[in-house]
Amino acid sequence: MSTLGPVISSGAELIATTLKNQGVEVLFGIVGIPVVEVAEACVAAGIRFIGFRNEQSAAYAASIYGYLSGRPGVCLSVGGPGVVHALAGLLNSKINCWPIVLLSGSCDTDQVDTGAFQELDQVEVCRPYCKYAARPASLEQVPFVIEKAFRTALYGRPGAAYVDLPADFIQYPIRNKQVLDSIQASKVPSAPKSMANPSDLNEAVALLKNAKSPLIVVGKGAAYARAEKEILQLVEKTGSPFLPTPMGKGVLPDSHPLCVSAARSKALKEADVVLLIGARLNWILHFGHSPRWNSTVRFIQIDIAPEEIGNNRNDTLPLLGDIQLVVSQLTQSLEKLNNISSGYVTGLVSKVKANAEKIRQSGLKGSDEAVLNYQTAFTTIKNILPEKDIVYVSEGANTMDIGRSFFDVSEPRQRLDAGTGATMGVGMGYAIGAQCYYPTKRVVSIVGDSAFGFSAMELETAIRSQLPLLIIVINNNGIYHGLDDDEYEASRISGTLPTTSLSPETRYDMISEACGGKGWLVKNRVQLGNALKDALAAKDQTCVINVMIAPGGRTKLDFAWMQNEKKAKL
């Protein structure tokens, strides 16, 4: 008999209690030695565990959960290869500025450098992607290090944090309740917020008041900051047109009369004063340079990260602070902007109408039995999907780019795509993460066949976890474009198969059925419509609709504004 007293807890339970104290509701990951006990303790503590098939998707799920919930998404993995797979999610969170914490098992502390099971210097491996990466020095330090990881991921510009969990800490038998209680860390409070410098604010107000063609750009930082109410007030009070970035869509409804998404190129060219709200002057906004932007444009940038402001344009006027607060400061100091040139807003609005009509027309082409293309498939889908309570996930180069203008979004944080990293393969992780966050909405993933293939096995995860995802694979047999059966066979025999080719008519729908979900293969408008109605009615089931479209892929886009955009990317 030990004189130390009975074992009352374990390191694994201590970790679970710490996560529970941090408000964690869902844990995404894959178990294995030495983290099975951690996952089991978390489940016993009332945390939902979603067990994936590859850590990459688990980390993507945690990444999007961080964006949606405004608290760090949490991923649990084994060491070594598990960590390397999960790095994808850390990078994705870093690049998109979302909070995430990765917790991974590692070898016993007295086995470091001995060639232990799955041994890797994980703290160093994760460090380049993280704001904070640490191995607790002792079991007593674990709650503090986890609290610090949560705080660092969340405060300032959100990002990634890593905590190493040595196997001997996880398994440690705890006998002393007093010590156990005394080391617990309390929940990280919401991030502190600050307002902009008053003199910068005055300068911004003066610039906006004098603007002849102002433009407000609403980015995903504004969506993350939950600043929809404040931004709507600013737009309505000033009368300035606004343009959402791809994931800024929905912060204000796309149907708002001042939304100029469908006249994007014209708006960029004409704007003389641009207010960036949680959006960076990176590739998505053409670095803020001409010819896409007017050469004399002035940028005002609201951001929480001072080092971001001035990136690519060091003449940018900074409004450093939290978007909710800074936008309110601006709204208080501004009235209706009455220097706006006559014709600027009406010109944009009429361009929006004309382009919207072109898009509408493009979706009506062809007979009901005709082979589908992106436009006709999207139009069919859009006309059937309900307007409310849908969360869109979108990836795949053409599927995402062309789809963006077909699906209007009316609420913030309801459209998730490949983001700043243009990361293909996020779709299944995002859909699973989003369905966990929004249990009463239907997550509809509209994805390319190549993008879906990155993590199609996560269908089993969704089905086992009873997540009724609706996945629509826009299948053109390839990356960007593919070949039809005959062309494919001829190229295969002659050894000239393009690197962009995937097998023709792969039955993605049957992967769903094989895992216990539902699946449909559809080839025209009528079949697509029927399958979609059935899938919407199957409210509790994971569904895959495999939509064969013309493999020639990029059917010629007949609206010039989109073509110009593609050309400018060359």
- Is 319 in contact with 302 (CB distance < 8 Å)? yes
| Smallest gap from residue 224 Cβ to ligand ADP (A) | 5
Question: For residue 135, how many C-alpha atoms fall within 13 Å in the half-sphere facing its CB?
Answer: 23
Distance CA 142, CA 166 (A): 10
Helices (H), 97-242: 122-126, 142-154, 167-171, 177-182, 198-210, 220-224, 228-238
For Mg ion, the closer CB: 158 or 448: 448
- Is 372 in contact with 548 (CB distance < 8 Å)? yes
Please identify which residue in 22, 63, 77, 96 interacts with ligand ADP, judged by CB under 6 A.
96
For ligand ADP, the closer CB: 220 or 298: 220
> At 163, phi and psi to the nearest 5?
-130, 125
Indicate which of Mg ion, ligand ADP, none lies near residue 284 (CB less than 5 to 8 Å, by partner kind).
Answer: ligand ADP
Residue 28 CB-density burial (10 A; 0-12 exposed, 13-18 middle, 19+ buried): buried
Indicate which of Mg ion, ligand ADP, none lies near residue 448 (CB less than 5 to 8 Å, by partner kind).
Answer: Mg ion
Indicate which of ligand ADP, Mg ion, none lies near residue 279 (CB less than 5 to 8 Å, by partner kind).
Answer: ligand ADP
For ligand ADP, the closer CB: 41 or 302: 302
Please identify which residue in 50, 61, 274, 304 interacts with ligand ADP, judged by CB under 6 A.
304
For Mg ion, the closer CB: 462 or 483: 483
126-165 mask for ligand ADP (x: CB under 6 A)? -------------------------------x--------
Distance CA 427, CA 397 (A): 12
Please identify which residue in 73, 89, 214, 219 interacts with ligand ADP, judged by CB under 6 A.
219
CA-closest candidate to residue 80, choices 109, 120, 133: 120
- Is 68 in contact with 42 (CB distance < 8 Å)? no
419-458 mask for Mg ion (x: CB under 5 A)? -----------------------------xxx--------
Q: Does 476 bind Mg ion (CB under 5 A)?
A: yes
For Mg ion, the closer CB: 79 or 504: 504
Distance CA 59, CA 29 (A): 7
Residue 97 CB-density burial (10 A; 0-12 exposed, 13-18 middle, 19+ buried): buried
Structure tokens at 509: 């729908």
Structure tokens at 209: 């008041």
- Number of chain positions touching ligand ADP (CB under 6 A): 24
Span 276-295, contacts to ligand ADP by CB under 6 A: 278-280, 282, 284
| Smallest gap from residue 62 Cβ to ligand ADP (A) | 17
| DSSP state, residue 156 | S
For Mg ion, the closer CB: 147 or 449: 449
Cα Rg of the chain, angstroms: 25
Chain centroid to Cα 14, Å, comes to 31
Indicate which of Mg ion, ligand ADP, none lies near residue 409 (CB less than 5 to 8 Å, by partner kind).
Answer: none
| Site residues (vs ligand ADP, CB under 6 A) | 96-97, 157, 219-221, 224-225, 245, 247-248, 278-280, 282, 284, 302-305, 308, 322-323, 420
| Site residues (vs Mg ion, CB under 5 A) | 448-450, 476
